[in-house]
Amino acid sequence: MALTNSPKVGIVMGSISDWPVFKRSAAILDDLGVAYDKRVLSAHRTPKELEAWISECEEAGVQVFIAAAGGAAHLAGVVASLTILPVLAVPMESNLQGLDSLLSMVQMPGGIPVPTMGIGKAGSTNAGLSAAAILALNDPAVRDALIQFRKDQASKVLSSEFPED
Ligand code: RP5
């Protein structure tokens, strides 16, 4: 499958079963106007295809990866082993409530870092925002979009209304 045009972020999940939660990362990037390429690729089920996709992303100008997986979640670590670009990890909920996923990602041995988000929906949202923040270092349009996102978020909090009892 051909890559999305000029992607800046590569987003990869170990299974399509991750998408209902992981789609929040993609939604944030959509909101901020950041192009990405998304794939279902597994570190243990499709390792060769995963490696090939990472190379394609690097050649296409991707600057940061986001990887979501659950259980013995080695996907982000494997991606990080194959690129020097930053790789953000999103632990998916699992039979152990995602604690296994979180520890698999965050407890990488020293040498191959995997910055890891919180488990599930919040982590998925924050991965999209963190990827955008990395891009914003060199992309004024993404920086402006992030600033606007923060303003809109603050406005929503400040206009909160209590429900009637
Ligand atoms: C991981 O195993 C995937 O990232 C997913 O979170 C989990 C379960 O995968 P499926 O059995 O739903 O395909 O590799």
CATH number, domain of 149, equals 3.40.50.1970
Q: What residues make up the domain containing 69?
A: 9-158
68: CA distance to ligand 1 center in Å?
10
Do the domain assignments include residue 33? yes
What tens digit of pLDDT does each residue of 108-142 get?
999 999 999 999 999 999 999 999 999 999 999 99
Do the domain assignments include residue 152? yes
Judged against a pLDDT cut of 90, whether residue 57 lies above it is answered with yes
What's the one-letter identity of residue 154? A
pLDDT band (50, 70, 90) for residue 1: confident
Spell out which residues line ligand 1, taking CB within 6 angstroms. 13-15, 17-18, 42, 69-71, 92
pLDDT band (50, 70, 90) for residue 5: confident
Do the domain assignments include residue 143? yes
pLDDT band (50, 70, 90) for residue 4: confident
How many domains are there within the chain?
1
Sequence-separated (6 or more) residues with CB below 8 Å from residue 5: 35
Determine the Cα–Cα distance for residues 124 and 72; give it in Å rounded to an integer: 18
Do the domain assignments include residue 4? no
pTM here is 0.96
24, 132 contact by CB (below 8 A): no
14 Cα nearest atom in ligand 1? 4
